[in-house]
Structure formats: C-alpha cells, structure tokens
Structure 1
Amino acid sequence: MMKIFNVFFCVMFVLFAALQWNDPDPYIWIPIYLYGAVFCGLAATRRYYRGWYLFGILAFLSYATFLFFEKDGVLSWVTEHQAQNIAGSMKASTPWIEDTREFFGLFILIIAMLVNFVHSSQKKAKKMRKRMMKIG
C-alpha cells in the first residue's frame, strides 16, 4: 500500500515540478516539488528518512502559513474574494489565486511527508520492540 502511495506522489510531484516552468517563480517551486518527489521515490523503495521528512514538513508548513496570512493570500481569497474559482484557468490572473494554489500544493506535500514520517516512525518502533524482545 505504501509503495503505491509513494509511487503515485513521486510521479505527481515530478509532474507538478514540470508544470512550474511557466510560473513566475519556478526557481522556488521546482526544487520544492522535486524534494517531495525524491523522498516519495525513496520511500517507494523502502528507504525512509525521518529527519528529512520532518525538515520538509516544517519548511513547507512555515511557507504555507506565510501564504495563508499574506496580503493577497488564502485568507484574502476566502474573505475578500468569496473563494473565487482557482481552477478556472491554468494562468493565475490574480495574486490571491496564485498564492492559494501554492498553499494547496504545499498542503499536498505536507500530507505526503507526514504520512511517510508516521509510517517510518511506526516501522522504527516495531524494529525496536523486536530488538527488545531478543534482548529480554
């Protein structure tokens, strides 16, 4: 199940990164999405890096919080622009649409990193219990 989850998100994050070429700030978003792709790809091969998941979660959460409260951010999209359709066109014609899309991209990344962090933590705990059983 985890392999399918991680292969899916690895492919999705590579596609998301590729779509950033026409973005106003591809130098930020291509590395962000490739970060997710790399660590989901590694997890698909049962290589987990809890510290890097945690780093990604904290970094993406910090940036998402900024985008949420920014002047033309998600909060503005909801309160001042009545949650205008953000998927109507591929081109983000307003800053609140761009920031809201970026926020949700980070949200997806955070979820993927969090699932892998929790899964790897459970695997580590299970391994520790086995070692303790051998010792005891």
Structure 2
Amino acid sequence: MKIFNLIACLLFIFSAALQYNDPDPYIWVPIYLYGAWFCFQYFKGKYFPKAYLAGILVYAVYAAFLFFDKTGVINWYHDHQAENIVQSMKATKPWIEETREFGGLLILIIVLAIDYISLRRKKPALTK
C-alpha cells in the first residue's frame, strides 16, 4: 500500500500542476492536492479516517453534480455520442471538460476509498 500511495501522491501532484491553464484552477489544484496530501500521509504511516470520509463525500457530491449537469457526463454521452475526451488537451467544449473533471474525481474517490478500507482493516481502533 505504501508504493500505491506514493505513486498516487505523485500523480495527484502532477495533476494539480497541470491545472495552471484550466478555467478554474482555484478549484482543481486544492482538490488534487487534498488527495495527494492524504496519500503522502498514508505513505508515512499517518491516518486520518474522518478526513478520508470528508474528501470522499465532497468529491462524490461534486461528481454527482458533474454527472447530472446540463453540460455534464450524461449530456456528453447522450447528446454528443460519447465524443473522444482525449482528442486534445485543450477542452473547448464544456461537456468534455466536465466529463474529464468527473473522471478525475472518480479516481480520487477510488484511491481515498481504497486507503480508507485498508485503514479500517489495519487499524480498526483508529476509525472510531
């Protein structure tokens, strides 16, 4: 799990760095750095179960918004026939931008959930 978290931490830092040209970096840099920080803490052997749950909850609410938004994932899938979201790094269409953002949140949720579940199995007393 330590190597998994070190790799996830580095990938989230890299993802945060890529947000410099995003239309809303003030939202996405902290989102990715939150995940990176807790992966790094897990790597160091420090655990914050309530912070993992808070991150998962906030990310899930935002992901649900992006999924159902009028230019979100459903719109991308139905109205734009699941258009290629990696055709260029500059997202000029809102449904591509929101679908990519949804994917980033999903990755963050999965990583934090894996850590939280692993934490509960390792240290049940810490999760109370």
Q: Taking structure 1 as the reference length, what is the TM-score of the superposition?
A: 0.90
Q: Which amino acid aligns with 2:2?
A: K
Q: Which residue of 1 aligns with 2:37?
A: 38
What are the residue-to-residue correspondences of 1:1-136 with 2, within 5 Å?
2-125=1-124
User: In the TM superposition, what is the alpha-carbon distance from 1:45 to its structure 2 partner?
Assistant: 1.0
In structure 2, distance between residues paired with 1:100 and 1:48 = 31
Query: Gaps (5+ residues) in structure 1?
Result: 129-136
Question: Offset at 1:73?
Answer: 0.1
Distance 1:124 1:15 in 2: 30
Please give the secondary structure, in 2, of the residue aligned with 1:120: helix
Supply the RMSD in Å over aligned alpha carbons: 1.1
3-state SS of the aligned residue for 1:40?
Answer: helix
CA distance in 2, matches of 1:38, 1:58: 17
Mapped contact 1:53–1:114 kept (Cα < 8 A): yes
Letter in structure 1 aligned against 2:56: I
Quote how far apart the aligned CAs of 1:124 are: 1.9
Distance 1:23 1:29 in 2: 8
- Alpha-carbon shift at residue 34 of structure 1 (Å): 0.2
Identity %: 55
Count of paired positions = 126
The structure that has the greater radius of gyration is 1
The answer for unaligned runs of 5 or more in structure 2 is none
Structure 1 segments, 4+ long, off by >3 Å, are: none
Alpha-carbon distance in structure 2 between the residues aligned to 1:10 and 1:70: 29
Task: Tell me the TM-score normalised to structure 2 length.
Answer: 0.96
